[in-house]
Amino acid sequence: MSAETETRDKAPEPITEALIETGLSAAEVPLRRQVKLWARHTNEKSDVASDLMGVLRALHRAVPEDRPLRSLSIGSSDEPQFRLLSAASRGGLWLFDADSSALDVVRARIGRQMLDGVHVVEGDYTADLFSPAAARRTCAERLGNDTFDLIVLHHALYYCDATDWPSFAATLYEVMLRSPGAIHMALMSSTTTEPYTTTWLYNHFAHKFFGHRNTQNLLALQEQLAAQPLFANAQFTQRTQSVAFRCDDFFTFMAVVWMILLYPDGHPYNEAQRREITAFVAEHFWAPKRPLKQVQDYLTIHKP
């Protein structure tokens, strides 16, 4: 039975003023906790890990046996892929992120689990890795003075303009990636038109109130890179996959909605707008018990 059939078979829950107030209060949840709530109630992280496993299998076939994999995770936070990358990267794993509190969690885990090959580095990739000169300096001074077999950017490209992606990818590919090696990226799809998805929800309200739509198209990056001589011998793989978020607590559900809608740092919805959004989510998602779907894209750049 599909999720949509399930929602039709269940009686809708009543929408009360108390429920709306609960949803409004969830707008105050800090971003880091929103991210944790999303990870706890979705299959998105396991889907990312599944796609990443395919990349790791290819690397293990291509890389000489006497060269243990060395990996870099950019914008890593304290994501669950940390464990998978740690196990696969016997040549060392570097976790690079601007969030000191997230890295503190990782540091504690490293000490507790005696993971000597895992290193945390606090930094802003849009400054420290964005140009060839900056990348070389950061590698030499903070990333073990060596290049990497695998570089991952899982939902990290949100934090820079899409027009900068080709030059950033070129820097990673030319300066920081070994041969053979791979760059693995994941991002919410901007091109899906499927209703009741995170993309659809964001576009609906960001466009209505601010005239903005999500234009960060990860899969279009392949075409842009393929036009560069640097990537003449590179191989690209793409995949698009649908995942879902569901929970039995409206506060938690709305906390994730506010994360998707980029409130307040991206879009400062006023009180009336926040109330309209909360009422919409209560009516169209919560009452019929409809999960919030996310269509997400994967792009891997393979360096021969």
What does the pLDDT profile of the chain (304 residues) look like in tens digits?
444 444 445 555 678 999 999 999 999 999 889 989 999 999 998 999 999 999 999 999 999 989 999 999 998 777 766 778 888 899 999 999 888 887 788 788 777 877 788 898 999 999 999 999 999 999 999 999 999 999 999 999 988 999 999 999 999 999 999 999 999 999 999 999 999 999 999 999 999 999 999 999 999 999 999 999 999 999 999 999 999 999 999 999 999 999 999 999 999 999 999 999 999 999 999 999 999 999 999 999 999 9
**Residue in the block written with tokens 């994967």:** 298
Phi, psi of 245, rounded to the nearest 5 degrees: -120, 130
Compute the radius of gyration of the chain from its Cα atoms: 20
Tell me if 155 sits within 8 A of 77, measured CB to CB: no
Residue 262: its pLDDT value, please? 96
Reported pTM: 0.90
CA distance 29 to 34: 7
Residue 244: its pLDDT value, please? 97
> Prior bond to 264 cis, omega within 30?
yes
**CA-closest candidate to residue 35, choices 86, 94, 105:** 105
Residue 10: its pLDDT value, please? 53
Tell me if 189 sits within 8 A of 260, measured CB to CB: no
